[in-house]
């Protein structure tokens, strides 16, 4: 992993459980470059010290128009998919081999969301199936700048996991659309890096934010309106 940064450090973990195995996806890169890779490790228990690394799942280079970081996994129509992406051309998705957990060779790289203006500031996808739709949650604008962070969470939906996704007004996410779900307010800023999980029959939105400049983890229950659009409580 030292090919991608000086310390070999990974980040942006995504853990899922299937077929009796925990699958940990993670990103390795350097700030401001799309010379990046997504890797995967597995464990039977999920406990520290039990993980086996299996190397690259998918990568990007400086000639690519996408950035292979911020992975998240979703199952749809009997297939396994990984969405990913940061800036460059926004959010992308590839099909994975369920046996290896890696991208199918020659797989189509589907385009899910972007912005019309450079630097195309949308990243950190999370795809959730609810009712008739797949919902794409993503982080817009700038993270990681303390009280100056402008991160916010937007969402769109599609009847197909590979899109096209549109927001509540019908604007495609490939044209800069995205219904605002959660933004900074008061001393709480930089809401993003989101994921959604199920807990005791309810959906919960997890994300990071700054509280007067101190980084913290936020948890809010997701509610679904009669029109199918999510809100946070």
Residue 85 inside a domain? The answer is: no
Residue 81 inside a domain? The answer is: no
Residue 88 inside a domain? The answer is: no
Residue 5 inside a domain? The answer is: no
Residue 77, Cβ neighbours under 10 Å: how many? 8
**What is the per-residue DSSP string for 183-215?**
--BTTEEEEEEEEEEEETTEEEEEEEEEETTEE
pLDDT for the residue 17 = 95
Could you tell me the residue range of the domain that residue 178 belongs to? 109-232
pLDDT for the residue 123 = 96
70 near 50, Cβ under 8 Å? no
Q: Is the pTM of this model over 0.75?
A: yes
Residue 65, Cβ neighbours under 10 Å: how many? 14
**Domains held by the chain: number:** 1
Residue 149 inside a domain? The answer is: yes
pLDDT for the residue 48 = 96
Q: Is 214 exposed, middle or buried (0-12, 13-18, 19+ CB in 10 A)?
A: exposed
pLDDT for the residue 137 = 98
Residue 197 inside a domain? The answer is: yes
What is the CA angle 193-196-201, rounded to 5? Answer: 160
Residue 117 inside a domain? The answer is: yes
CATH number of the domain to which 204 belongs: 2.115.10.20
User: Would you state the torsion angle of the CA atoms of residues 69, 72, 75, 81, taken in this order, to the nearest 10 degrees?
Assistant: 0
> What stretches in the chain show pLDDT beneath 50?
none
Question: String of b and e for 153-189 (b: at least 16 CB within 10 Å)?
Answer: bbbbbbeebbbbbbbbeeebbbebbbbebbbbeeeeb
Residue 188 inside a domain? The answer is: yes
């Amino acid at each position: 992993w030292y090919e991608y940064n000086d310390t070999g450090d990974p980040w942006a973990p995504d853990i899922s459980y299937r077929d009796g195995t925990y699958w940990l996806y993670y990103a390795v890169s350097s700030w401001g470059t799309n010379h990046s890779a997504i890797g995967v490790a597995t464990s039977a228990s999920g406990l520290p010290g039990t993980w086996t690394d299996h190397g690259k799942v998918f990568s990007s280079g400086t000639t690519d128009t996408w950035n292979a970081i911020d992975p998240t996994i979703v199952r749809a129509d009997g297939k396994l998919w990984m969405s990913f992406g940061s800036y460059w051309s926004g959010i992308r998705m590839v099909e994975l081999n369920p046996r290896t957990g890696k991208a199918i060779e020659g797989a189509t790289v589907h385009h899910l969301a972007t912005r019309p203006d450079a630097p195309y500031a949308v990243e950190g996808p999370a795809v959730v199936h609810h009712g008739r739709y797949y919902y794409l949650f993503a982080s817009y604008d700038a993270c990681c700048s303390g009280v100056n962070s402008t991160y916010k969470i937007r969402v769109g939906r599609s009847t197909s996991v590979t899109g096209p996704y549109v927001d509540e007004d019908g604007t495609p996410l490939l044209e800069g659309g995205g219904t605002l779900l959660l933004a900074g307010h008061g001393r709480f800023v930089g809401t993003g890096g989101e994921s959604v999980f199920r807990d005791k029959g309810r959906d919960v939105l997890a994300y990071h934010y700054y509280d007067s400049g101190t980084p913290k983890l936020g948890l809010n229950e997701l509610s679904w309106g009669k029109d199918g659009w999510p809100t946070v409580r």
